[in-house]
Chain A
Amino acid sequence: MRGLALVAALVLALVLVYQLGERPEETPPPAPASAESAERGHYLVRAANCVSCHTARGGEPYAGGRAIATPFGTLYSSNLTPDPETGIGRWSADDLWRALHEGKSRDGDLLYPAFPYPHYTRMRRADADAMFAYLRTLRPVRNANRPHEMRFPYDKRPLLAGWRALYFDQGSFKEDPGRSRQWNRGAYLVEVLGHCSACHGEHGGPMPMQSWYAPSLAPARESGLGAWEVGEIVELLKTGVAPRGAVFGPMAEVVRDSLQHLTTEDLTAMAVYLKSRQGDGNPDAGGATVSDPQRAQMMKEGAAIYRDRCAGCHQENGEGVPRAYPPLAGNRAILMRNPVNAIRITLNGGFPPSTQGNPRPFGMPPFAHQLSDREVAAVVTYIRGAWGNAGAAVSPAEVASGRGVPLD
């Protein structure tokens, strides 16, 4: 869907690219850098989670080079350390501001929106300057930026003007005077710095090239947090585990690199904001690809597998063990119409992140080598249908397509 939109945008771009002048903008002069602003900048850089994308596996933090697979080719993140040749050593605070606010590189190139400038554009100038002050304090690492490997025509950066005309709304953060300071702080952290909706769209959606599903955070939908207490949401974001759930996969990375470093006050503001958002009351219906008699048979087989393999940790009644083994009864993360996360975690297991609040997480074993597609389908159907859960059955074919996916 996004792919189609991009293609349409690129076609439009051919028409628009020469007509659209990007309006120049008055920018206030940067505040002078100080140790204090660098320290504040460190906090903001963490809230914006720069490090996850700007660090290669096994590479120096912030030195770039991480491959970001997209449906249009592979992007490589850039070096944010102050090395003059390969990093941002020659950048000024204005240059960083232009990247964050306008989505343009120092040399004027339009940036690919994998860099979340559609969110960062509304960042406050003082925050961008503090982030710049912090980045200047990093040890310079010599690591040349690797050229992107985008397919034609996506490798033609000027065409991004078309995408920008449709989807990029350069702007600033406007506080809602009708809301509390806390709510506005939460909105700024969630929508601007944290760029949560870069993955968690209003309606939820699969993460490109990752075989994970990022649920909607609208309160009444999918993993919506409307029914969670503020304290439970804060605990999940701070430690990676909470009585009602745990984070896995890409969200484990976000908690490890970003959210666990935020103050309880800020996380509370995020939770308050997330709970307040409007969403239509349509939890997840249907999606069944399995007939009723088949489903009944799978529930029976799944119950036996569950008793044998799962109940030791998640308990017979599906209530789990708080903060060790997430409850499955009533756990909306496994009830979403798109079952890829439940299938994937059953096949591949995994650990929530090590955090200051939960340094030694309990793990989930992989079952890919022990259970057949049919058995995995049966047990996932069972956990989606037992204890009052009302998730649709999953088919062996859905499990089969979950094997052999890239795990990264």
Chain B
Amino acid sequence: MKRLLAIVLLAGAAQAQPIPDTLEQRLLACAACHGKHGEGLEANEYYPRIAGKPAGYLYNQLVNFRERRRESSPSMSFMVAYLSDAYLREIAEHYAALPPAYPPPARRPTAEVLARGETLMTKGDPVRKIPPCTACHGEALTGMQPAIPGLVGLDAQYIAAQMGAWRNRLRRAQEPDCMASIAGLLGPGDVAAVSAWLASRPASLHAAPLPAGSLKLPMDCGGV
């Protein structure tokens, strides 16, 4: 083993390293969602700030993800699945020591966010193959008989929670699970935009689901 290590070290020394050997470099995998400095992704629902949180808390969460006590993110569980306690402790301490870049206090959604939500809801995003919500839930978002629910009047946080549950396979339906597919295509900020716009819509008193068969659905859904 010693000889092996010596070979490893020699090989390492002989080659100019094009990357710095820092913890930050080792943890670029984390930066993809939580930011290079653990600041979280701005305007995003599921990738929280981790900088400046207490090291013990962060360590416990990493271990809980690994041991599947915390099951809310299969992606996090997979990330840390094969990492040791010692490395997880070091990662936790790294982020705990970074200054907590608090975002500005929550404001009402900007016109820009609302417009993005409206576009996604009514036009979808053909490039990302996201159908408009209205294609199945109806122009007035009142749903369709017998199995598509209306969306008007739903609370923004409820919508965001359901989207997260679909993405993480905590909420499941008959295959093909079309809402899980759609939730998986939404990018950072999409869910916040959609749920903000939806929550801003007035609900009509006559918000009844459309009759069965009034819409031609753009995708197969096992539950419909």
State the A residues within 8 Å of B (CB): 57-58, 231, 234-235, 238-239, 243, 252-253, 256, 264, 313, 315, 321-325, 348-354, 357, 359-370, 372-374, 400, 403-404, 406-408
For window 1-53 of B, CB contacts with A under 8 Å fall at 1, 3-5, 7-8, 11-12, 15, 17-19, 23, 25-33
- Please name the 8 residue pairs, one residue from A and one from B, whose CB atoms are nearest each other, closest first: A363-B29, A58-B67, A365-B32, A354-B84, A353-B82, A57-B68, A407-B78, A252-B82
B contact residues around A239 at 8 Å (CB)? 8
**What are 27 A-B contacts with C-beta separation under 8 Å?**
A57-B67, A58-B69, A231-B7, A235-B4, A313-B19, A315-B18, A321-B17, A321-B18, A322-B12, A349-B79, A351-B79, A351-B80, A352-B82, A353-B83, A357-B5, A360-B90, A362-B28, A365-B28, A365-B32, A369-B33, A369-B188, A372-B127, A404-B181, A404-B184, A407-B74, A407-B77, A408-B81
What are the residues of chain B within 8 A of A400 when measuring CB–CB? 181
For B90, the chain A residues whose CB sits under 8 A away are: 360
Asked whether A351 and B67 contact (CB < 8 A) given A322-B12, A407-B75, the answer is no
- Knowing that A348-B75, A403-B181 are A-B contacts, what are 20 other residue pairs whose CB atoms are under 8 Å apart, sorted by A's residue number? A58-B68, A252-B82, A264-B1, A264-B4, A321-B17, A321-B19, A322-B15, A324-B19, A325-B19, A357-B4, A360-B87, A366-B29, A368-B184, A370-B187, A370-B188, A400-B181, A404-B181, A406-B74, A406-B169, A408-B78
Q: Is the CB of B29 within 8 A of A364?
A: yes
Q: Is the CB of A322 within 8 A of B19?
A: no
| B187 x A363 contact (CB < 8 A) | no
- Contacting residues, chain B, for A406 (C-beta < 8 A): 74, 169
Q: Which residues of chain A are near B3, meaning CB under 8 Å?
A: 264
Contact for A359 among B4, B30, B87, B181, CB less than 8 A: B87
The answer on a CB contact under 8 Å between B185 and A372 is yes
How far is B68's CA from A366's CA once the two chains are assembled, in angstroms? 19
Tally of chain B residues near chain A (CB < 8 A): 50
Q: List A contacts of B169 (CB < 8 A).
A: 404, 406
Please tell me which one of the listed residues A234, A350, A352, A403 contacts residue B4 in the complex, with CB atoms under 8 A apart: A234
Which A residues are CB-close (under 8 A) to B77? 407-408
Closest chain-B Cβ to A64's Cβ sits at a distance in Å of 16
* Chain A positions within 8 Å of B12 at CB level: 322-323
A405 to B177, CA, bound (A): 12
Closest chain A residue to B188, Cβ basis: A369
Contact with A along B62-99 (1 / 0, CB 8 A): 00001111000011011111111011001000000000
